[in-house]
Structure 1
Amino acid sequence: MAGQQIDLATLPVQQLSQVKKQLDDEVQHLTNSYQNLRTAQQKFRDCNISIQNGVANSVKDKPLLVPLTSSLYAPGKLADEEHVLVDIGTGFYVEKTTGDAQKFYNGKIEELGKSIKDLENIVNGKANNLRMVEEVLRQRMLTGQQGGQAAAGAS
């Protein structure tokens, strides 16, 4: 069914219901993916802000908390304000200058932005398809009810 056009008016109600369910599932999955991309993009923005605010001369000799896990922090001091460790994925870290790290994160933010735009267009298209199927299904149900009422009135 993917990639082809189908005249919804020719489909039986049961098949329309199946198409609606499939589109519901697809829209839900794509919406979750969209949210995950937005979350990842925000994390990269947060990394950039951390580099701008956290790796500055003003915090050089001040004590700070180093995150070991999402809920465990250890006291520490900033050893070098010119270099940072950057998580490049799958647990690999690379030492970069703060400028290179910001370029890396800006590139990731831009890349995710493009993916988000593309996914947004796909979600909108699927949502429009879903609305069309729902409308045809609603019309069919109304005609079915009207036909049933006319048959009941004739007897």
Structure 2
Amino acid sequence: EINHPTHSFARLKQDQAKFKACIENVAEMEPENQGAKATLVPLTNCSYVHGKISDPEHILVDMGTGYFISKGYRLAHRLRNTIKQRSISLEDMIQNKRDNTSAAVNVIQ
């Protein structure tokens, strides 16, 4: 019962770290550099092509299912905060389940 939430939490933390890095990268783009900001665009995990940012106010978010959605930077930032809050809630739930499991084991012994 505790393995699934723990695994999900670990995966959520990994995704949260990736998303945070993406938000920080987008934050570094300045509006006056629109169209001139060079970047590398990933084609696969190990191959990239050169590209330019045409609109730093809107970003594509990978939903993890092969779909991308266009979001404004501010909305993406709010999404990051929501993910952070939910991960804290999930972490509390996992700790509570661990405590309950430990208490049950102590009673059985």
TM-score bucket of the superposed structures, by smaller chain = 0.7 to 0.9
Structure with the larger helix share: 1
Q: Which runs of 5+ in 1 are unaligned?
A: 1-25, 139-155
Percent identical? 24
> Relative contact order (alpha carbons < 8 A, sep ≥ 6): 1 or 2 greater?
1
Q: Which runs of 5+ in 2 are unaligned?
A: none
Matched, 1:40 2:15: yes
* 1:55-134 alignment runs, 5 A limit: 55-56=29-30, 61=36, 63-76=38-51, 78-87=52-61, 89=63, 90=65, 91-94=67-70, 100-101=72-73, 103-134=74-105
Larger Rg: 1
Equivalent residue pairs, number? 106
Tell me, yes or no, if the aligned pair for 1:38 and 1:116 is still in contact at 8 Å: yes
Q: Distance in 1 between matches of 2:53 and 2:93?
A: 46
Runs of 4+ in 1 over 6 A off after TM superposition: none
The alignment's C-alpha RMSD in Å is: 2.5
Q: Distance in 1 between matches of 2:53 and 2:81?
A: 30
Query: Measured at CA, do residues 117 and 68 of structure 1 come closer, stay the same or move farther in structure 2, by a change above 3 Å?
Result: same
Query: Measured at CA, do residues 62 and 130 of structure 1 come closer, stay the same or move farther in structure 2, by a change above 3 Å?
Result: closer
TM-score under structure 1 length normalisation: 0.56
TM-score under structure 2 length normalisation: 0.75
Structure with the larger strand share: 2
